[in-house]
Structure 1
Amino acid sequence: MSEEYKKILEAQLWNIANTLRGKMNADEFRDYILGFIFYKYLSEKMDIFANEILKQDNIKFRDITAKTVDGNEFIEAIKEEALEKLGYFLKPEELFSEVAKRGMGDNEDDVEKFDESKTNFILEDLQKILINIQLSTMGTDSEEDFDNLFEDMELNSSKLGKTPEARNAIIAKVLTHLDKIDFKLEHTELDVLGDAYEYLIGQFASGAGKKAGEFYTPQEVSKILAKIVTTGKSKLKSVYDPTCGSGSLLLRVAKEVEDVSDFYGQEMNRTTYNLARMNMILHGVHYRKFDIKQDDTLEHPQHIDKQFEAIVANPPFSAQWSANPLFTSDDRFSQYGKLAPSSKADFAFVQHMIYHLADNGTMAIVLPHGALFRGGAEQHIRRYLIENKNFLDAVIGLPANIFYGTSIPTCILVFKKCREHPDDILFIDASAHFDKVKTQNVLREQHINLIIDTYRNRTETLKYSKKATLVEIATNDYNLNIPRYVDTFEAEENIDIEVIANEIKALDESITATDKTIADFCAELNISTPF
């Protein structure tokens, strides 16, 4: 039932999102629609929580009014508990469904016959409510997690309409449509809304071009990273993503184990940082269990004193960074003797992540193929990681054109500080294992399973995987280009020249016979031959 309903929910939410499609680009209406879904989620969560408290008093939360003495007492008592358990508070009149009903105005219950001219003006109230959600957390443990969470939802933006009335009409329509959808939050064992939210984020990423890389890792790649770092584990103390985007990679790791005690992440883009916090809360991760920070990870790391059991990342490929000489005394980089070049921060992210990796942990990072063989400082760092530290566990080559916004081939590097197989490094060439869907290459379940099974069993398969000794890698001067280790060469079929010559001779004889037949026909018709 959950899978079937999830697909229905995904279709409903995407249809509502398209209400805004003609008014702004994908990036912009993404922030509105995901924000409204999140507001509805918070409201329904608040309503369920409050009604459970009020059950013994035989009162419904939305029926309470602050105009009565008893009403105020109920509201204050519920607020205190909500801030402790949920991390935020909404008054009965601030609930999503109440605002949607006010906005619907004189429209009938049938949303398909929605008349925008019959709506009530709710923009000011709605903007205040979104601000009040944040204000309710002031001075509490959840304050940082809700700080400016709705700042990208500017309801008075001209992008929504030229006049306040036009903006109000489109918002009222979206809220009314959303109000008709049941998120089924009472069924706590289901996460259909969380999955549907991830689906929407993926849909927006597919239409966002190069910008998609700022906030989204394709689910197929997320699965591979998550399965690698959870190998042999049923619970994790901590998982960390230094370039967490929308938080989807962190949440994917949680799906591979029974429990993750704490989630940590850092994201530079403010809008994406807001999306990541919403995504965590909407997936039921308690505000005390996640710590997402907003800043440049390399320049201003926010979790510098912590180590993590699992680390995953899909950092921006070959991004620029300062490579400031001051970093040579930074504990993350100092032992290597060289910094990653300022034009390519790939190995700066690797060094940062290794610094935060616990002794019993595993990290998996997506990088462009160039990181495997480029010379200079990057070669020096590769050599140090293999020769001096022996941290590199596996190199996995992925197909080209599987990421939104770029067609370049990529790879996954897996690192462990305490390796079970310290004498070799596993190379997997999965670059030819994919299905083509329109213009995008896609990894199917069988492709993912083949990669994971090969990694976990360290299987050597002809033309697919190979365990290379440290001596062999040193002989190759620490060039990790996969074809050096996994031979995928396909010999061309032998050609028998004698057979080909006979075929050509027979063809010539056939042509001569055909020419004679044509000549005979032309003679009978008393016309010239065509040759």
Structure 2
Amino acid sequence: MVEIQFQQKVRELIDGLKAICANYGLGNDGNEFKIITQAFLYKFLNDKFAYEAKKVESNLAEAEKWEDVLSNMSDDELEMLALQMPADTATLKPQHFISYLFSQQNEPDFAKLFDDTLRDISIQNNEIFAVQTDGGAKIKLFDELSQFISDPSKRDEFCKAIINELVEFSFERIFDQKFDFYASIFEYLVKDYNSNSGGKYAEYYTPHAVAHIMAEILVPKDQQGQIKNVTCYDPAAGSGTLLMNVAHVIGETRCSIYTQDISQKSSNLLRLNLILNNLVHSIPNVVQGNTIQHPYHRDGKLLKKFDYIVSNPPFKLDFSDFRDALDTPVNSERFFAGIPKIKEKSKDKMEIYQLFLQHIIYSLTDKGKAAIVVPTGFISAQSGIDQKIRQYLVKNNLISGAISMPSNIFANTGTNVSILFLSKGFNNEVILIDASKLGTKIKDGKSQKTVLDVNEIKKIISTFNERVSEEEFSILVSADDLKKKNYSFSAGQFFKVNQEIVEITEQEFLEKVKIFQSEINDLFKCSNELQKQINLSLGGIYSE
């Protein structure tokens, strides 16, 4: 109950920050997400510093105002305190505290003081918290937030409003909470900023049900807590939902996260997600850049291989501007099945997921595992690059299973999706699951989405991990079976068709035929009436 109440207070803090943005003309502005997420992060780092400092110095915990005690410490004492705190705690000075800014509100140029404070925190913590680009540049923690207010005369009041919203709230009591708690907070924080409205490189938020299924199958219950020192990678990471779920089942201290994503917004959201989920040590591995054209992570000159890979890559978009640069001998092994051709009349329909899928296969270690969201059309395409990839997976003992998900499992895209599971050196039968009939349809704004309940999620996971065949739901198939079906991964193509034979008399048969004829005639009549009405309506439009 306490956790639920506190989650509500966190949501109220987020809503309060959004209200401030709206009051200053930034509601639904392109920079609103930066203000909301960075103000939230500033507060989180401030309170995490206080939490860790009080664990080191008992007099801080006992003080009525811990900030005052810290302010009276010498530089040497502050440095010693910092050395005793965990490495993932931001380094803050007394003048960085929210309480200090709150006390300075009546000073002139408050917006400048506010921006300077955030800038100084960024500089002090650049080595630990900065995200880098594939060109080597560093993306700092904070922007100068007041600059997003176009009217300079309103900047001081805007910054004061933010500080007043932050000062009355504290995260300190919940730093011992686990993944599920922070996952809920993060989802609420970014729900308005991680959507498919981002243009060419849009972020599609992966539902937690899908992320949970992928993680629990990649790392089954009997392996959780036993795996350590492994690498987890997503070449199209977005805000990191998939990686957070995998890191949680492995153990946040037992794995290192590696990512790349072309979107700066996604990389910043991912950084926040890592901070919330005790994965600060992986922030130096977060890279903003084009994975397909410029894959960043390497071991020496060779591309780095990873133990676990999860991804929900973009399916189709225009990459014609660098397509020909990929078609070189250097990339022949990585893109073994080929590179999609430029579609002159519909470039935005180029199948970029085929490149991501091949990149993932190439990036697995000798015992690596992967789970990838793909358009359902991929699993049964009869020719082309899709079919070549599936053939490669079967012949090289890489495919362990596939799950066809319900339609509209993603509310923001109508594309039906499946989840592909890969495992290097997998020699057992492949499990194919048709989960398309599961779930409940609900309205999500103007869209419709399908929601899986807890029992349905458990059914998918247990069926896959226990490798159970269930009529009309799952089936185990051999490599030879897959070959006979042109390497299709669609469970439905392997289900037996049950024919039910009922003996009836000739008279009963003729009666059924009459009923069918009557129903067909009724339909024809309705069709003729509709045709007349449509013609009349069109005629009326023409006469006008």
Range into which the TM-score falls when normalised by the shorter chain: 0.7 to 0.9
Q: Deviations over 1:49-85 (max 9, x none)?
A: 334444369876522587x8x6333334445556x72
> Greater Rg, structure 1 or structure 2?
1
Choose which of 369, 375, 389 in structure 2 pairs with 1:381: 389
Unaligned runs of 5+ in 1: 106-118, 506-531
Choose which of 51, 54, 58 in structure 2 pairs with 1:55: 58
Q: Deviations over 1:393-419 (max 9, x none)?
A: 111111121224211111111111121
Q: Alpha-carbon deviation of 1:460? A: 1.2
Give the match for residue 474 of structure 2: 465
Q: Alpha-carbon deviation of 1:142? A: 5.4
Q: Deviations over 1:333-390 (max 9, x none)?
A: 3583533445212222122112222233320000112222342233222212212x12
Give the match for residue 520 of structure 1: none
Contact 1:191–1:283 at 8 Å: present in 2 too?
yes
Q: Deviations over 1:171-210 (max 9, x none)?
A: 4323322332232356524567623432224522577656
1:219 is aligned with what amino acid?
H
Is structure 2 residue 198 aligned with structure 1 residue 204? no
Distance 2:459 2:286 in 1: 33
Change over 3 Å in CA distance of 1:242–1:207 after alignment to 2: closer
Choose which of 293, 296, 303 in structure 1 pairs with 2:287: 293
Give the match for residue 157 of structure 2: 169
Distance 2:408 2:501 in 1: 27
Pick which of 250-259 and 9-18 moved more: 9-18
* 1:125 match: secondary structure: helix
Choose which of 117, 125, 137 in structure 1 pairs with 2:113: 125
Q: Alpha-carbon deviation of 1:487? A: 6.0
* 1:440 match: secondary structure: strand
Contact 2:47–2:170 at 8 Å: present in 1 too?
no
Distance 1:186 1:245 in 2: 26
Choose which of 84, 90, 93 in structure 2 pairs with 1:91: 93
* 1:168 match: secondary structure: helix
Q: Alpha-carbon deviation of 1:27? A: 5.4
* 1:204 match: secondary structure: coil
Give the match for residue 277 of structure 2: 283
Change over 3 Å in CA distance of 1:334–1:147 after alignment to 2: closer
Root mean square deviation, CA, Å: 3.6
Contact 1:205–1:216 at 8 Å: present in 2 too?
no
Q: Deviations over 1:204-242 (max 9, x none)?
A: 257765669516211111111111211242234221111
Give the match for residue 356 of structure 2: 349
Distance 1:71 1:130 in 2: 22
Give the match for residue 223 of structure 1: 212
Change over 3 Å in CA distance of 1:65–1:330 after alignment to 2: same
Q: Alpha-carbon deviation of 1:273? A: 0.7
Is structure 2 residue 176 aligned with structure 1 residue 188? yes
Give the match for residue 317 of structure 1: 315
Q: Alpha-carbon deviation of 1:286? A: 3.2
Choose which of 76, 82, 96 in structure 2 pairs with 1:73: 76
Change over 3 Å in CA distance of 1:503–1:188 after alignment to 2: closer
1:453 is aligned with what amino acid?
S
Choose which of 442, 450, 463 in structure 2 pairs with 1:441: 450
* 1:263 match: secondary structure: strand
Distance 1:492 1:201 in 2: 57
Give the match for residue 264 of structure 2: 270
* 1:156 match: secondary structure: helix
Change over 3 Å in CA distance of 1:317–1:337 after alignment to 2: closer
Give the match for residue 484 of structure 2: 475
Q: Alpha-carbon deviation of 1:437? A: 1.7
Give the match for residue 255 of structure 1: 248
Contact 1:319–1:346 at 8 Å: present in 2 too?
no
Give the match for residue 148 of structure 2: 157
* 1:396 match: secondary structure: strand
Distance 1:120 1:432 in 2: 63
Change over 3 Å in CA distance of 1:435–1:152 after alignment to 2: farther
Contact 1:10–1:200 at 8 Å: present in 2 too?
no
Distance 1:42 1:195 in 2: 17
Distance 1:347 1:503 in 2: 47
Is structure 2 residue 8 aligned with structure 1 residue 23? no
Give the match for residue 511 of structure 2: 498
* 1:379 match: secondary structure: helix
* 1:350 match: secondary structure: helix
Contact 2:376–2:417 at 8 Å: present in 1 too?
yes
Is structure 2 residue 421 aligned with structure 1 residue 425? no
Is structure 2 residue 139 aligned with structure 1 residue 148? yes
Distance 1:144 1:488 in 2: 54
* 1:249 match: secondary structure: helix
Change over 3 Å in CA distance of 1:432–1:279 after alignment to 2: same
Is structure 2 residue 246 aligned with structure 1 residue 243? no
* 1:40 match: secondary structure: helix
Distance 2:66 2:139 in 1: 26
Distance 1:153 1:436 in 2: 43
Task: Report how many aligned residue pairs link the two structures.
Answer: 481
Change over 3 Å in CA distance of 1:373–1:185 after alignment to 2: same
Taking structure 2 as the reference length, the TM-score comes to: 0.77
Distance 2:291 2:466 in 1: 34
Distance 1:460 1:26 in 2: 51
Taking structure 1 as the reference length, the TM-score comes to: 0.79
Pick which of 258-267 and 392-401 moved more: 258-267
Change over 3 Å in CA distance of 1:301–1:502 after alignment to 2: closer
Q: Alpha-carbon deviation of 1:496? A: 6.6
Q: Alpha-carbon deviation of 1:245? A: 1.0
Change over 3 Å in CA distance of 1:337–1:38 after alignment to 2: closer
Distance 1:502 1:157 in 2: 71
Distance 2:473 2:158 in 1: 53
Distance 1:391 1:93 in 2: 55
Distance 1:164 1:492 in 2: 81
1:168 is aligned with what amino acid?
D
Distance 2:264 2:437 in 1: 37
Distance 1:349 1:197 in 2: 30
Is structure 2 residue 226 aligned with structure 1 residue 233? no
1:156 is aligned with what amino acid?
Q
Change over 3 Å in CA distance of 1:334–1:173 after alignment to 2: closer
* 2:31 match: secondary structure: helix
1:396 is aligned with what amino acid?
I
Give the match for residue 373 of structure 2: 366
Give the match for residue 336 of structure 1: 336
Change over 3 Å in CA distance of 1:279–1:485 after alignment to 2: same
Q: Alpha-carbon deviation of 1:121? A: 5.3
- Between the aligned residues of both structures, percent identity stands at 23
Change over 3 Å in CA distance of 1:367–1:12 after alignment to 2: same
Distance 2:515 2:388 in 1: 58
* 2:487 match: secondary structure: coil
